[in-house]
Amino acid sequence: MPLYIGGIGLIIKAENLSYTYAEGGPFEIGALHGVSLTIGKGELVGVIGHTGSGKSTLVQHFNGLLKPTAGSVTVCGVDTSAKRADLKAVRQKVGLVFQYPEHQLFEETVRRDIAFAPQNLGLSPTEIDARVREAAALTGLPEALLDQSPFALSGGQKRRAAIAGVLAMKPEVLVLDEPTAGLDPRGREEILAQIKALHRETDITVILVSHGMEDIANTVGRVFVMNQGTIAMEGAPLAVYSRYEQLEQMGLTAPQVTRLMKTLCGVDVCTVKQAKEYLLGVLRRA
Amino acid sequence: MITTERLQFKYSEEREEEALRDVSVTIQDGEFVAVLGHNGSGKSTFAKHLNAILLPVGGTVYVDGIDTKDERRLYDIRQAVGMVFQNPDNQIVATVVEEDVAFAPENLGVPSAEIRKVVDWALETVGMGGYKRHAPHLLSGGQKQRVAIAGVLAMKPRCIVLDEPTAMLDPIGRREVVATLRRLNKEEGMTIVLITHNMDEAVSADRVVVMSGGGVVLDDTPRKVFADVARIKALGLDVPQVTELMYELRREGLDVPTEILTVDEAYQALKCRCISGVSG
In our burial notation (b when 16+ CB lie closer than 10 A, e otherwise), range B80-115 reads bbbbbbbbbeebbeeeebbebbbbbbeeeebeeeeb
Closest to A275 in 3D by CA, of A214, A211, A219: A214
Packing angle of the helix pair A125-138, A110-120 (nearest 10 deg): 120
Domain annotation covers residue A279? no
The pLDDT, as a whole number, for residue A231 is 96
Q: Does A285 map to a domain?
A: no
- Give dist(CA B45, CA B161) in Å, integer: 12
With an 8 Å Cβ cutoff, is B237 touching chain A? yes
Contact A157, A189 (CB under 8 A): no
Q: Phi and psi dihedrals of A179, rounded to 5?
A: -70, -15
What average pLDDT does this structure show over A124-140?
Answer: 93
Axis-axis angle for helices A256-265, A272-285 (nearest 10): 30
Where helices occur in chain A by DSSP H, the ranges are 55-60, 87-93, 110-120, 125-138, 155-167, 185-201, 213-217, 237-241, 244-249, 256-265, 272-285
Q: Closest approach of chain B CAs to the CA of A247, in angstroms?
A: 13
Over 60: is that where the pLDDT of B115 sits? Answer: yes
- The percent helix, strand, coil of chain A (3-state, each to 5) is 40, 20, 35
In chain A, how many domains are there? 1
Q: How many Cα atoms are found within 13 Å in the side-chain-facing hemisphere of A79?
A: 9
In a domain, residue A56? The reply is yes
Contact A243, A233 (CB under 8 A): yes
Q: Per residue in A166-199, pLDDT tens?
A: 999 999 999 999 998 888 888 888 889 999 999 9
Closest CA–CA distance from residue A284 to any residue of chain B (Å): 8
CATH code of the domain covering residue A194: 3.40.50.300
Among B17, B260, B274, which would you mutate to test the A interface (most chain A Cβ atoms within 10 Å of its Cβ)?
B274
User: What average pLDDT does range B52-77 have in this prediction?
Assistant: 94
* Cβ–Cβ gap A283/B273 under 8 Å: yes
Please tell me the class of the B2-237 domain.
Answer: alpha beta
Choose the closest CB to A154 out of B39, B262, B267. Answer: B39
Residue B176 touches partner A, C-beta closer than 8 Å = no
A234 within 8 A of A224, measured Cβ to Cβ: yes
pLDDT at B81 over 90: yes
Q: Given B168, B173, B278, which is nearest A282 (Cβ)?
A: B278
Q: Which amino acid is at A107?
A: E
To the nearest whole angstrom, how far is the Cα of B12 from the nearest Cα of chain A? 15
Domain boundaries along the sequence of chain B: 2-237, 240-280
Contact A71, A96 (CB under 8 A): no
Report the 10 Å Cβ neighbour count for B10: 17
Across the interface, of A185, A211, A265, the residue whose CB is closest to B170 is A211
Residue B171 touches chain A, beta carbons under 8 Å = yes
Best mutation target, A264, A271, A273, to test chain B (most B CBs within 10 A): A264
Is the CB of residue A99 less than 8 Å from the CB of residue A177?
yes
Report which residue type is found at B242.
V
pLDDT at A286: 67
Question: A155 and B39 in contact by Cβ < 8 A?
Answer: yes
Answer yes or no: is A265 within a domain. no
What is the amino acid identity at position A233? M
CA distance to partner chain A, nearest, from residue B106 (Å): 34
Tell me whether A3 touches chain B (CB under 8 Å): no
For residues A247-261, average pLDDT: 89
Least confident among B9-23, B88-102, B123-137, B217-231: B9-23
**Please, are residues A161 and A141 in contact by the beta-carbon 8 Å criterion?**
yes
Tell whether A245 lies on the interface with B, counting CB pairs under 8 A: no
pTM: 0.83
Of the candidates A50, A186, A255, the beta carbon closest to that of B241 is on A255
**Is the pLDDT at B276 greater than 70, yes or no?**
no
Centroid of chain to Cα B197: 10
Q: How far is B74 from chain A (nearest CA, A)?
A: 32
Residues B220-275 have pLDDT tens digits of 999 999 999 999 999 989 999 999 999 999 999 888 898 999 999 999 998 877 76
Burial group, residue A34, by CB count within 10 angstroms (0-12, 13-18, 19+): middle
pLDDT reading at A6 higher than 60: no
In the prediction, which pLDDT does B184 show?
A: 92
Q: What pLDDT was estimated at residue A107? A: 92
Query: Domain of A43?
Result: 5-254
Res A154: pLDDT:
82
**Is A147 within a domain?**
yes
- The reply to whether A8 touches chain B by the CB within 8 Å rule is no
What mean pLDDT, rounded, does chain B reach?
91
- With 50 as the cut, is the pLDDT of residue A134 above it? yes
Instruction: Report how far residue A254's alpha carbon sits from residue A239's, in angstroms, rounded to the nearest whole number.
Output: 12
Nearest to A208 by CA among A193, A197, A219: A219
Count H helices and E strands in chain B, helices first: 11, 10
SS3 B205: coil
- E strand residue ranges, A54-101: 70-75, 78-79, 94-97
Nearest chain A residue to B165 by CA distance is A182
A51 closest CB neighbour out of B140, B167, B199: B140
Neighbours of A228 (CB within 10 A): 15
Distance CA B261, CA A282 (A): 22
pLDDT on residue A233:
95
Percentage of chain A with pLDDT > 70? 97
CB under 8 Å to A177, separation ≥6 — which residues?
A56, A59, A96, A97, A98, A99, A209
pLDDT exceeds cutoff 90 at A3: no
Contact between A283 and B255 (Cβ < 8 Å): no
